[in-house]
Amino acid sequence: MTAITNRSILITGGASGIGKLMAKRCLEEKAYKVILWDINEENLEKTKEEFKSQGYDIATYVVDVGNVDDINAAAERVFDEIGTVDILFNNAGIVVGKPFAEHTNRDISKTIDINVSGVMHTALAFLPSMIDQDEGHIVNIASASGLMANPNMSVYAASKWAVVGWSESMRIELEKTNPEVRVTTVMPSYINTGMFDGVKSPMLTPILEPDYIVDKIIKGVKNNEIIMQEPFMVRAVPILRGVLPTRVFDFVADKVFGVYKTMDHFVGRPKHEAVPDKDRLSKKKKDIRS
């Protein structure tokens, strides 16, 4: 089992949504230190003050995980100021919900930079120290869209397919060389955090409440689960895709379960809550230290 008590935890995208909730759960589990990375400095400050008012001390850093130089610089500061990270939650992500033909080059690059490259580069920054101490856990928050295609989220789905393939490949490598360094891949359906406002849940696949999925993730990490798929119907997707011809699967997914219509009325987060454009970020890259 992976202990959270007395461990140092780093969560990307930790200033809001399930990242913030996972931080709270880890603090309640008496983690040694909780470190939050987020691109939104204002949200980080609010989260730090909120936890402080509850008697918790956390470390926060303004980091653009879509920028490898930012990742590596922030990782060095974490090593210098706090030390080794025992558990990494790769949680930061964005979604562009519209037909692929309407995407801009920037939409594509930003999604891949944050959802794929950012996850890999962040893991790479902390994995060697986990290997050196022969202990650690990397938790990659992917998506059920990493298991099947879905209209109006093509680039997002592609990014999550990439994360699932990479995460599982890394897990197998580590099981052969460093089995005490664990990898968990999380593939939830839509979560009610605002990121997917406007979506319609498929039949038998309710939109997940944040508290529910965070409880599942924390329990899964403690139990060293390899793959987490929630809710139950997500686990059926690989089976159905494996046994049904493609056209039959499309019919079932679209006409029976309504999966292919879920993004028809997607709104997403309000613009003032969206991920800031890195070109508008402050040059000073201010740290908010513990």
pLDDT of 283 > 90? The answer is no
At 286, the pLDDT band (50, 70, 90 cuts) reads very low
- pTM for this predicted structure: 0.92
Q: How far apart are CA 59 and CA 46, in angstroms?
A: 13
Which residues have C-beta within 8 Å of that of residue 246, sequence separation ≥ 6? none
pLDDT of 288 > 60? The answer is no
pLDDT of residue 287: 44
pLDDT of residue 233: 92
pLDDT of residue 280: 45
Nearest Cα neighbor of 197 from 17, 29, 14 is 17
Nearest Cα neighbor of 116 from 143, 136, 98, 137 is 143
Contact criterion met (CB below 8 Å) for 25 and 37 = no
pLDDT of residue 1: 73
For residue 56, indicate whether it is catalytic. no
At 277, the pLDDT band (50, 70, 90 cuts) reads low
Instruction: List pLDDT tens digits, range 242-258.
Output: 999 999 999 999 999 99
Instruction: List pLDDT tens digits, range 89-139.
Output: 999 999 999 999 999 999 999 999 999 999 999 999 999 999 999 999 999
Lowest mean pLDDT across 88-102, 153-167, 266-280 = 266-280
Catalytic residue among 61, 156, 190, 260, which?
A: 156
CB crowding 226-264: b at 16 or more within 10 Å, else e: ebbbbbebbeebeeeeeeeeeeebeeebeeebbbbbbbe
Q: How far apart are CA 290 and CA 288, in angstroms?
A: 7
pLDDT of residue 278: 52
Count of other CB atoms within 10 angstroms of residue 116: 19
Domains annotated for the chain, with CATH where assigned, are 8-288 (3.40.50.720)
- Concatenating the DSSP letter of every residue in 135-158 gives -EEEEEE--GGGTS--TT-HHHHH
Count of other CB atoms within 10 angstroms of residue 91: 27
pLDDT over 70 percentage in the chain = 93
At 151, the pLDDT band (50, 70, 90 cuts) reads very high
pLDDT (mean) for 173-182:
98
